[in-house]
Amino acid sequence: MVFADLFFLYFFLPVCLICYFITRSATIRNLVLIVFSMVFYAWGEPVWVAILLVSALVDYVNGRIIEKHPDGAPARLAVAWSLVFNLGILFGFKYTGFFVENLNAVTGLGLTVPKIRLPIGISFYTFQTISYTIDCYWGKVKPQKNFLKFLMYVSLFPQLVAGPIVRYSTIAAEIEDRKTTIKDLSEGFSRIILGLGKKVLIANSLSTVVTSLFGDSDSGYEAINSLSVLGTWYGAVLVGLWYYFDFSGYSDIAIGLGRIFGFHFDENFKYPFVCKTISEFWQRWHISLSSFFRDYVLYIPIFGKRRKYGGLFLVWFLTGLWHGASWNFVIWGLYYGLFIMMEMLIGKKRMKKMPVPLAHIYTKLVIFLGFGIFYFEDLPQLGRFFKALVGLNGNPVADAYTANIFMGNIFLFIAAIVFSLPIIPKLREKAFAKPGSSYIFQSAGVICNALILLASSLLLLNNTNNPFLYFRF
């Protein structure tokens, strides 16, 4: 089941809310969330629920072992088992085919490449349970004694299938005791509508334009072969905007849903395109993932010592690989790691002295080129993308085809740029600062929310399949 679906919006969610708020019992409310989360996850693929349940049970038991033997060998074995089990099932489902394929390429063995379907959300909930076990071992959180409460944490449908990766420490207190205020309901529903608009009105439209420029995996990305230089750069920019609105839209819906149920998830996106360095970009983009690797991988001793650049290489190799079993993702991760290492060598003080216009030009070139790398999973076509960027494919700098697509989608492009920047929040802040203007602005906000919901619902009538990009990761 997906959020951008009329069945979810107008049946599943209302029924869930009625069952949740009809009682004040915290125990029953927790059970309601577990049941609806299981239904949500099982929708279309019920077999994968078993893996989710086993994963939750394994790390619940690991937490209890750590609680009883905090400083002994059993605790260390519990952490080791958590890593082996969770990373093992993640590797088995996500990377087995990729591994065999590359083994065949290197050795010529000719082994059969298995076609294994990836359980939705496995990259997210395995990282959540790993972080829980490690935090228990480090003493950052107290192990959860009630399995149903822990299962609710792991399976919460707002963030189950595509994040954000919610740390147990973030909502531990709210698992035990939470309440939903009128403000929570108001801001929660507003956030859901905002995320829905990002996905349905902007991201879906951008994806259509990108496909017309680059093609897609189904067509073999053939369109890139005839694209002009400006068309290639324009497409790369649109890919970045598309991914931003799709994934941040999902995160907005997840955060809004959590808020309605009394949970306060951390932000996952903070207007990343305003960044002046690549390091800052990753402090604003997919924050839950970048912070996970920073906290649990960056300082891992390599060959017995903590190695600054070795840890950095490992983090960005894994960041790329986490996104998919394809070499373009590994290249993408190492590409960002290279620029972050370069900024580390230059130093924060010197980076801050860079003229602001130059800083924005530098970061946007790096970021949007990176999104091009991310998009082309086929390496030969990725090579053609690089050639097209500088005209080495023999095509012109500009062409009528790109110009027509640009002019035909100019308002979409402008809207995407405007809404990817913190312009509206700043206008809202200024409006609320004026005496007597808050009521007018709140009324305008309600009207805008109603229009966004109406427009999104009308578009969803003719589009029954709206998976979010990060479902496949």
Give per-residue pLDDT as tens, 434-449.
Answer: 666 666 677 777 899 8
- 244 and 136 share one domain: no
165-189 pLDDT, tens digit each: 999 999 999 998 899 999 999 999 9
- 23 and 134 share one domain: yes
389: nearest Cα among 416, 370, 412 = 370
- 19 and 107 share one domain: yes
Q: Which residues are catalytically annotated?
A: 323
Q: Which residues, in sequence order, are CB contacts of 23 under 8 Å at separation 6+?
A: 29, 32
**pLDDT at 433 exceeding the cut of 70:** no
With respect to residue 372, please indicate whether it lies within any of the assigned structural domains.
Answer: no
- 120 and 220 share one domain: no
Helix 26-42 vs helix 13-21: crossing angle, to nearest 10 = 160
35-52 pLDDT, tens digit each: 999 999 988 678 889 999
DSSP result, 154-213:
HH-TTTTTT-----HHHHHHHHHS----HHHHHHHHHHHHHHHHIIIIIIHHHHHHHHHH
With respect to residue 35, please indicate whether it lies within any of the assigned structural domains.
Answer: yes
Amino acid at 309: Y
What is the pLDDT at residue 368? Answer: 95
**pLDDT at 116 exceeding the cut of 90:** no
The residue behind tokens 């589009």 is 463
- Residue 153 token pair: 């944490």
| Structural domain of 89 | 6-178
With respect to residue 211, please indicate whether it lies within any of the assigned structural domains.
Answer: yes
With respect to residue 355, please indicate whether it lies within any of the assigned structural domains.
Answer: no
With respect to residue 162, please indicate whether it lies within any of the assigned structural domains.
Answer: yes
With respect to residue 340, please indicate whether it lies within any of the assigned structural domains.
Answer: no
Q: What is the mean pLDDT of the chain?
A: 90
User: Sign of dihedral through CA atoms 450, 451, 454, 459?
Assistant: negative
Interval 286-295 mean pLDDT? 92
With respect to residue 425, please indicate whether it lies within any of the assigned structural domains.
Answer: yes
- 134 and 247 share one domain: no
By the 8 A CB rule, do 42 and 33 touch? no
**Of 30-39, 103-112, 460-469, minimum mean pLDDT range:** 460-469
Bridge partners of residue 305, in order along the sequence: 302
- 213 and 262 share one domain: yes
What is the pLDDT at residue 240? Answer: 95
Q: What percent of the chain stands above pLDDT 90?
A: 67
- 453, with CB counted inside 10 A (0-12, 13-18, 19+), is middle
Coil, helix or strand for 364?
Answer: helix
Instruction: Choose between 39 and 305: higher pLDDT.
Output: 39
Q: Could you give the CA distance from residue 302 to residue 294 in angstroms, rounded to a whole number?
A: 15
- 158 and 191 share one domain: no
Confidence band for 56, pLDDT divided at 50, 70 and 90: very high
Bridge partners of residue 348, in order along the sequence: none
Among 178, 213, 233, which residue terminates a domain? 178
Q: Could you give the CA distance from residue 463 to residue 469 in angstroms, rounded to a whole number?
A: 16
**pLDDT at 302 exceeding the cut of 70:** no
Among 178, 202, 217, which residue terminates a domain? 178
37: nearest Cα among 261, 246, 198, 249 = 261
By the 8 A CB rule, do 293 and 319 touch? yes
What is the pLDDT at residue 18? Answer: 96
5-32 pLDDT, tens digit each: 899 999 999 999 999 999 989 999 999 9
- Residue 459 token pair: 């578009």
What is the pLDDT at residue 127? Answer: 93
How many other C-beta atoms are found inside a 10 Å radius of the C-beta of residue 472?
Answer: 12
* DSSP state for residue 223 in the 8-state scheme: G
- 348, with CB counted inside 10 A (0-12, 13-18, 19+), is exposed
Coil, helix or strand for 108?
Answer: coil
What is the pLDDT at residue 432? Answer: 67
- 192 and 253 share one domain: yes
With respect to residue 370, please indicate whether it lies within any of the assigned structural domains.
Answer: no
- 146 and 215 share one domain: no
Among 178, 203, 224, which residue terminates a domain? 178
Q: Give the total number of structural domains in the chain.
A: 2
Q: Could you give the CA distance from residue 235 to residue 205 in angstroms, rounded to a whole number?
A: 13
What is the pLDDT at residue 470? Answer: 62
Interval 333-349 mean pLDDT? 94
- 89 and 124 share one domain: yes
Can the peptide bond before residue 357 be classed as cis, meaning omega within 30 degrees of 0? no
- 74 and 174 share one domain: yes
What is the pLDDT at residue 304? Answer: 61
Q: Could you give the CA distance from residue 290 to residue 417 in angstroms, rounded to a whole number?
A: 24
- 166 and 190 share one domain: no
